[in-house]
Amino acid sequence: MAEKHNYTEESIKSLDWREHIRLRPGMYIGKLGDGSAADDGIYVLVKEVIDNSIDEHMMGYGKTIDITITKDKVEVRDYGRGIPLGKVIDCVSKINTGGKYDSGAFQKSVGLNGVGTKAVNALSNYFRVQSVRDGKTKIAEFEKGKLLKEHKETKCDLKNGTLMSFVPDNTVFKNYHFIPEYLEELLWNYAYLNAGLTINFNGQKFHSEKGLLDLLNRRTDEESVRYPVIHLKGNDIEIALTHGSQYGEEYYSFVNGQNTTQGGTHLAAFREAIVKTVREFFKKEFDASDVRASIVAAIAVRVQEPVFESQTKTKLGSINAGPEGPAIRTWVNDFVKKELDNYLHKNPTVADSMLKRIMQSEKERKEIAGIKKLANERAKKASLHNRKLRDCRLHLDDAKDEKRFETTLFITEGDSASGSITKSRNVELQAVFSLRGKPLNCFGLSKKIVYENEEFNLLQHALNIEDGLENLRYNKVVIATDADVDGMHIRLLMLTFFLQFFPELVRNGHVYILDTPLFRVRNKKETIYCYSEEEKKQAVAKLGNKPEITRFKGLGEISPEEFGNFIGEEIRLDPIVLKKEAAVQKLLNYYMGKNTPERQQFIIDNLKVEKDLYNTPLKLNH
């Protein structure tokens, strides 16, 4: 018999703003995370504070923003108008309070419309706000959203503006850490989208004069692009594009300064408009995939009252370009059609280079068409889900489930390692793909090899990335190999595969290395797992009396019961951080090409200590 529940007046509870944010933080900042992913919550907190300063700059107040971020504290100082002193507390602690509701003051703002800094306040162990206006200042301090101290308004000789600082709540963001490269990418995007703005961050200067042109020039290699970046600007719209030599498509899209990492209406319209314009200009009905193959492009738009598909604003919904303006698809299409067509007519050399690249893509696509069809049939017959892949129940495309961002695919070597992970994993969220020995070194090979090589073909089908990342099945792709030289070699071979054929998977922050302990130190009362020699020394000192020390030589040696500790809530993942100025072809040539004195010296300098290979996030920048 079903259990009875009384539904009375006592069942109805009203939460204040602070309690609601702390109870349901995902509604306000997306996923929490520990900082190992670029879209983890701690970076959203940083962004929400900076957004207010950016809005001031956009309104014409303040050309400089000073940012200091230490291990656990964030401080942002702008030189705008400063929050009105009488509303300092309300602006950071009362929902539906803020200047963004005055459409005349903030018509195309980037912040969360009166929610952003409140969410930061509620999710911080300590939060401080100081406003300076016309020789007077007001300070307020909070703890987890509760007012600790309201300082009296006093006179001062500081420049106008606002200073906010906070320490994220470590009970909400467990084991969090800031990765400098993620912060730097965030700040570079602000600089590109606000030409003339200077951001000072921990001694570094971020500044751009040419906007998206600077962005694309920084993210491409002069030797690999087929023609100089096309840069076009209009009223509230800016685009930049070129074709390179890499596989796949690479886009950077923004709405009102927000990096819409999941794209949306504006990006879909941009991609469609490029194809339509190219077809009409060259008077040939090219396949859309041939036009867009190897493209690197960026689009930034500013619109009034944008509608996003999530609170964290990573995907733009269907909207108009203005209160009475055309649908955004029409607006973007009209701009691209007119401006790109004009540019190609005025620059015949660029047009010729673009045509040659498109025709090359067309030729390559036709060459592998037959192989691709056979490979897809083989993948079906291989019973992928039984033979190579132990799937999970939830996928990234299960849009309504908040846990979809926690979906993970572990790529393992050997049956013993995959067996341990399979037995100890969370079957709801974690899948396992088992490699058979060392994968092929695909450096310098064409995409044809992806379909000819059974291992690669089955892996791309498991990830569902054959035609791009739109239908990626797992948010995290984790390479789980042994902590030895062979394991490192497999990591490099897998990274070569992803960088060669699916670079956007790495660039978009989906690829990680699983960090597993090297040692187990235990006595009869306690067991400590150690990820480095230093941690082992500390464990031995703590336990004393000559504890038992086990050196794990391979993942297969770790029992499923123990493995559950390493891939559960306390999982340690090292993200593959591909710096935005790193050119993929140069990286591949350097790491996987012929041995050179330069690379030999790199190995001597960097691979002296075995643990160095396995305890540091792999940052690819050459």
Q: Is residue 563 part of a domain?
A: yes
User: Can you give the pLDDT at residue 37?
Assistant: 86
What gap in Å lies between CA 487 and CA 146, rounded to an integer? 49
User: Can you give the pLDDT at residue 260?
Assistant: 81
The mean per-residue pLDDT over the stretch 551-558 comes to: 80
Question: Does 389 lie in the same domain as 259?
Answer: no
Q: Is residue 192 part of a domain?
A: yes
Query: Please, are residues 347 and 340 in contact by the beta-carbon 8 Å criterion?
Result: no
* Residue 166: band (very low, low, confident or very high) from pLDDT cuts 50, 70, 90: very high
What gap in Å lies between CA 75 and CA 148, rounded to an integer? 18
What gap in Å lies between CA 210 and CA 255, rounded to an integer? 18
Residue type, 128: R
Report which of residues 24 and 337 the model is more confident about.
337
User: Can you give the pLDDT at residue 554?
Assistant: 77
Report which of residues 263 and 539 the model is more confident about.
539
Q: Is residue 616 part of a domain?
A: yes
User: Can you give the pLDDT at residue 610?
Assistant: 39
Per-chain mean pLDDT for the chain = 84
Q: Is residue 12 part of a domain?
A: no
Query: Please, are residues 405 and 30 in contact by the beta-carbon 8 Å criterion?
Result: yes
Domain boundary among 366, 399, 416: 366
pLDDT at 12 over 80: no
pLDDT at 2 over 70: no
Tens digits of per-residue pLDDT, 261-299? 777 888 999 999 999 999 999 999 999 999 999 999 999
Question: Cβ atoms within 10 A of the Cβ of 277, count?
Answer: 20
What gap in Å lies between CA 246 and CA 505, rounded to an integer? 13
Q: Is residue 11 part of a domain?
A: no
**Can you say how many angstroms the Cα of residue 219 is from the centroid of all Cα atoms in its chain?**
15
Question: Does 418 lie in the same domain as 489?
Answer: yes
User: Can you give the pLDDT at residue 617?
Assistant: 46
* Residue 65: band (very low, low, confident or very high) from pLDDT cuts 50, 70, 90: very high
What gap in Å lies between CA 276 and CA 274, rounded to an integer? 6
User: Can you give the pLDDT at residue 47?
Assistant: 92
Question: Does 592 lie in the same domain as 510?
Answer: yes
User: Can you give the pLDDT at residue 569?
Assistant: 79
Question: Does 472 lie in the same domain as 345?
Answer: no
Specify the pTM. Answer: 0.80
User: Can you give the pLDDT at residue 596?
Assistant: 60
Question: Does 225 lie in the same domain as 202?
Answer: no
For residue 319, the enclosing domain spans 221-366
Q: Is residue 526 part of a domain?
A: no
Report which of residues 202 and 368 the model is more confident about.
202
The mean per-residue pLDDT over the stretch 310-324 comes to: 52
User: Can you give the pLDDT at residue 247?
Assistant: 84
Tens digits of per-residue pLDDT, 345-392? 999 999 999 999 999 999 999 988 888 888 887 777 765 555 688 899
Tokens of 111: 């912040």
Tens digits of per-residue pLDDT, 457-503? 999 989 999 888 888 999 999 999 887 778 888 888 999 899 889 98
Question: Does 387 lie in the same domain as 332?
Answer: no
User: Can you give the pLDDT at residue 108?
Assistant: 52
Query: Please, are residues 142 and 126 in contact by the beta-carbon 8 Å criterion?
Result: yes
Q: Is residue 536 part of a domain?
A: no
- What's the CATH number where 303 sits? 3.30.230.10
Query: Which string of b and e fits 197-212 if b means at least 16 CB within 10 Å?
Result: bebbbeeeebbbeebb
Q: Is the dihedral of CA 443, 449, 450, 455 positive or negative?
A: negative
Question: Does 391 lie in the same domain as 326?
Answer: no
Query: Please, are residues 36 and 159 in contact by the beta-carbon 8 Å criterion?
Result: no
The mean per-residue pLDDT over the stretch 506-526 comes to: 90
Which of 371, 399, 542, 548 is closest to 470 using CA atoms? 399
Question: Does 282 lie in the same domain as 257?
Answer: yes
* Residue 312: band (very low, low, confident or very high) from pLDDT cuts 50, 70, 90: low
Q: Is residue 542 part of a domain?
A: no
Question: Cβ atoms within 10 A of the Cβ of 313, count?
Answer: 26
Query: Please, are residues 153 and 87 in contact by the beta-carbon 8 Å criterion?
Result: no
Name the percent of the chain lying above pLDDT 90: 47
Which of 1, 81, 72, 84 is closest to 35 using CA atoms? 72
User: Can you give the pLDDT at residue 347?
Assistant: 98
Query: Please, are residues 502 and 465 in contact by the beta-carbon 8 Å criterion?
Result: yes
Question: Does 501 lie in the same domain as 396?
Answer: yes
Name the percent of the chain lying above pLDDT 70: 83
Domain boundary among 316, 334, 366: 366
Domain count of the fold of the chain: 3
User: Can you give the pLDDT at residue 508?
Assistant: 84
* Residue 611: band (very low, low, confident or very high) from pLDDT cuts 50, 70, 90: very low
User: Can you give the pLDDT at residue 498?
Assistant: 92
Question: Does 118 lie in the same domain as 231?
Answer: no
Question: Does 230 lie in the same domain as 200?
Answer: no
User: Can you give the pLDDT at residue 29?
Assistant: 84
* Residue 105: band (very low, low, confident or very high) from pLDDT cuts 50, 70, 90: very low
Question: Does 190 lie in the same domain as 117?
Answer: yes
What gap in Å lies between CA 335 and CA 618, rounded to an integer? 41
- What's the CATH number where 509 sits? 3.40.50.670
